[in-house]
Amino acid sequence: MPAVYATACAFQTLREENWPVFKSDVMGWADRMIDQDPAVARFFELDVDGKHHVSSGWYTRFIKRCKFSTTNQKPIEIDRAKWLTSTNMKAYYNVFENVCIKAGVGKRMADGRFIITHPERIMSFDETSVTNDMTAGKKGKGQRTVTAGAEDKGACNANKGGGRASFAGGSLMTGLALPLFAVCAAGAVPVAWEKHLPKGMVVGAEGELVKAVLKHNKKGSVDGAMCIQYLEEVVAKCFPDVSPTNGVVMICDGCPTHITFEFLSKARAMGVHIVLRPPHTTSMSQGEDVANFGPFKDALEKSRSAFATKKSDGKSVRKPLCLDDMMEIAMGPWETAFSVRHNRRGWEVTGLFPYTRCVEHELRKSEVKKRKIETDFREAKR
């Protein structure tokens, strides 16, 4: 296919100039080819809806066919292994049950089983950093770049800057996404952001969908002050009837910058009952990390690449992205990542809804297996 050869040459040129070529760039290019040329679409697989799409398998074959390779490495947090135990998760689930019973959204049956009675009053949220800076986060540290030839060691030019922000998102246990709460690092919220807000799902007091909330501070972070505003402008609007006698359960992490005395006092006065996840267990216990933020970041990279190409009008020199562009780039990926399907998966795989405590059980099986292997190894050494 001539288009593939031409694109391979273009990627080769980019690598010769030390520009990164990520998997999302290659797959984004192929997606645009499918949209623009029906004749090209037939070379790609069909999905369940009968539409042609780009798969990871196609990407792998493309790399081999063009005699490219990939490079880089991804660090692992050792602390996670210390915290991610069945004992810690058992304690977490027990606390969750007790808090739900206290808040009136769950109850203990006569046979000892715990059941959730009001999933629509249980929410989970977390934040993730968003940036147009290619030297930060996954783009700069963890993602692999295509390399062209033995001389190409993976060194990359990268745009620095372009704005940064923190996006806080989550969902109700029913699967409805909470409105986006975005904090940008600036003296004011960009006017352009108002034009590209992700659509809401939760209905407020007046029967309207609760809109995204836009904020700004020096660091673009969800600090203690912003967490209080999150309670006032997201939680209070999504649960207009919340009160100490009609509670809501909020699941979140225990980051010290979030869980301040002021935040906890405000939550208690409102009737918001907090459940904190165990530290360093987000890979299995946090629905947003398991089901939302991964798809969001992957789709964001594709959207960023497509937007940069569009902004440059096809010219070889890319125009830098800026903070004004961020919400337009992120809107589609955010809506997709926080779809009802993704949200429900997050609750399910973390063992909360349906309530299975599956993470605790999986870890216990793994620990039993590990102990047996260690015992067999010690006996074999005797």
CA dihedral defined by 25, 26, 30, 33, rounded to 10 degrees?
60
- Residue 181 pairs in a beta bridge with 168, 213
Min mean pLDDT across 29-43, 50-64, 362-376 is at 29-43
What is the torsional sign of CA 78, 131, 184, 218?
positive
| AA identity, residue 226 | M
pLDDT of 139 reads 45
Residue 205: how many other CB atoms lie within 10 Å: 12
Whether the predicted pLDDT of 138 surpasses 50:
no
pLDDT of 157 reads 47
CA dihedral defined by 315, 317, 322, 326, rounded to 10 degrees?
60
Q: What is the pLDDT of residues 271-284, one digit of tens each?
A: 999 999 888 887 78
Query: Which is higher by pLDDT, 346 or 42?
Result: 346
Whether the predicted pLDDT of 57 surpasses 60:
yes
Query: In degrees, to the nearest 5, what angle opens at C-alpha 95 toward C-alphas 94 and 98?
Result: 90
pLDDT of 79 reads 56
Find which of 81-90, 114-123, 263-272 is predicted with most confidence, using mean pLDDT: 114-123
- b/e 35-65 (16+ beta carbons within 10 angstroms → b): eeeeebbeebeeeeeeebbbeeebbeebbee
User: Which residue in the block uniquely carries the two structure tokens 């309530």?
Assistant: 355
Backbone φ/ψ region at 319: left (φ over 0), alpha (ψ -120 to 50), beta: beta
What is the torsional sign of CA 290, 291, 292, 297?
positive
Q: What is the pLDDT of residues 281-317, one digit of tens each?
A: 877 888 899 899 999 999 998 898 888 878 776 555 5
Burial class (CB in 10 A: 0-12, 13-18, 19+), 317: exposed
pLDDT of 76 reads 41
CATH code for the structural domain at 80-138+157-289+337-359: 3.30.420
Whether the predicted pLDDT of 365 surpasses 60:
yes
This prediction's pTM: 0.75
User: Could you report how far apart the first and last alpha carbons of the chain are, in Å?
Assistant: 62
pLDDT average, residue stretch 138-153: 64
Q: What is the mean pLDDT of the chain?
A: 84
Distance CA 254, CA 262 (A): 14
pLDDT of 260 reads 82
Rounded to the nearest angstrom, the gap between the alpha carbon of residue 209 and the centroid of all alpha carbons in its chain is 23
What the block records as the tokens of 133 is 């800076």
Q: What is the pLDDT of residues 190-215, one digit of tens each?
A: 999 999 999 989 999 999 999 999 99
Whether the predicted pLDDT of 161 surpasses 70:
no
Can you give the residue ranges of every domain in the chain? 1-67, 80-138+157-289+337-359
| Contact partners, residue 186, CB within 8 Å, separation at least 6 | 163, 216, 220, 323
pLDDT of 278 reads 85
